Structure 1
């Protein structure tokens, strides 16, 4: 059989004939340039859509002097935080037909510099810098417009978008107190992590506003289910009084907590309510009962970082730190089966 002839590429001239305008008008309409009546611009775009016309990206870049590309530079090799942030950024950048690259430095400074050099060579227009921890990081060493997401820049002159952990912990404590819980323990990750310290310290401070003290000192360990089980055993195996709520610094820890409580015959939430942090679907849905937790809205962090990056590319500087308000997601581990 004779193979079908390759489909001919639709050209600007084809679109011009379809819309009844000149090729120059087509170029202006599709590239958002020139002074055209809205009806003419819309007519050209509809004609291009009917014919399946695809803009020549290379020609567009040469004509405008832009590459319409930005990068998300991360040290989060697992992608637990960087992927939702990138997806949020893509949602904001898609309207401008911007292409987004993901560059994983794996927390290696040499690899990071390699990516930055390549981005400069490829004339990327900007970069969103993110990571897996919330500690401030050193600014990137490159002449690229940059916005920092999740992990802020240590330079206050830079623009950073971060989760509001203090607001998240406030939501959790107020939720537990409203449910009548007064003996609130806290199990969290390594004391070397800013997020673990912030959640523990702010939890104690928020309890104090309700006239309450934490049920014992915060227990610092690992971001793991195994640590959640071990810490729970320490809590319920010692002392004359059990907590009536356990706040956890992550959903992984909280899942380990609920498992160990169930194994020991402690009812969740009838005897002890449990909360997590991060709203990681794999953990909250896999926990029994499902976890009440805090959604830090990583997608919104990415979207806002992208919006600020577009402003910076356009010459509108917005220095400082912007915090994204989290959301409390109430489920069975505090409310019971609904």
Structure 2
């Protein structure tokens, strides 16, 4: 209820004085804090940091800030962070982790604020966003087929991970659909060292005609180990053997030589 001239004069005075509105008081009036909490036990940040960047990009233009809390695998620590978020009256919580078949070590049910799960096991009936591992694996193997690769091996992580079985099943399905021989996937660790060891198993005994001409890896670390081991054997990538990773861990994929398809 003031003229434009008066409004502008007030704004200019506020700018000169460095005045800032009291966001806590505004939150009480609006019954919103314009903050969202993000809980994770992904201490490496491989999945949680890109996810946080996406959440922040989606919310920043709406005036909403995101803050990250690491719960590790400690139920007590997780509960402390949840209580702190509730005390700060966050508008919602995004729960994320390092695998989709494990729940965060904290109870987020019945909080009376929205909770969204991303890349972690959700509560029953909750909103959960997870990766489509089967279709991702299918895309990788089909890409090899389009390039003319026909002897495709699969090297992946521990059998205790649900994603390992989802990717391996899709790998088998694509090869069967195209009438190609299926090599039993090699399962090990999520590490470069395992990728290196897997090459010894795949390229050690059989003659060159029995070697794979494509290796689909369960993650980018394994793929990097595979590429290093092939280089040591004088096998060219991608001329002799194609290699595809999974997860698109950018810092690993871009630093691999040659740069990794993932």
Q: Mapping of 1:68-87 within 5 angstroms?
A: 68-87=34-53
Shift of 1:135: 0.8
Q: What SS does structure 2 have at the residue aligned with 1:128?
A: strand
Q: Which residue of 1 aligns with 2:169?
A: 201
Q: Give me the CA root mean square deviation.
A: 2.2
| CA displacement, residues 229-287 of structure 1 (integer Å, 9 cap, x when unaligned) | 01111110023410110000111110100000010011111211111111222211221
Alignment partner, residue 115 of structure 1: 81
Q: Check whether the contact 1:152–1:161 (CA below 8 A) recurs between aligned residues.
A: no
Aligned length in residues: 253
TM normalised by structure 2 equals 0.89
In structure 2, do the counterparts of structure 1 residues 50 and 83 end up closer, same or farther at CA, with 3 Å as the change threshold?
A: farther
The one of 145, 148, 151 aligned to 1:180: 148
Deviating 4+ runs (over 6 angstroms): none
Gaps of 5+ in 1: 1-12, 23-43, 294-338
SS in 1 for 2:61: helix
Alignment of 1:123-202 (within 5 A): 123-137=89-103, 140-143=108-111, 144-155=113-124, 157-202=125-170
Structure 2: distance between partners of 1:206 and 1:49: 65
Alignment-derived partner of residue 55 in structure 2: 89
Deviation of 1:154 after TM superposition, in Å, equals 4.3
1:229 touches 1:257 (CA, 8 Å); kept in 2? yes
Equivalent positions of 1:1-338 (< 5 A) are: 19-20=4-5, 48=11, 52=15, 54-137=20-103, 140-143=108-111, 144-155=113-124, 157-214=125-182, 216-240=183-207, 241-293=210-262
Name which of structure 1's ranges 105-114 and 218-227 shifts more when overlaid on structure 2: 105-114
TM (normalized to structure 1)? 0.70
**Per-residue deviation, 1:95:** 1.8
By relative contact order (CA 8 Å, sep 6+), the higher-ranking structure is 1
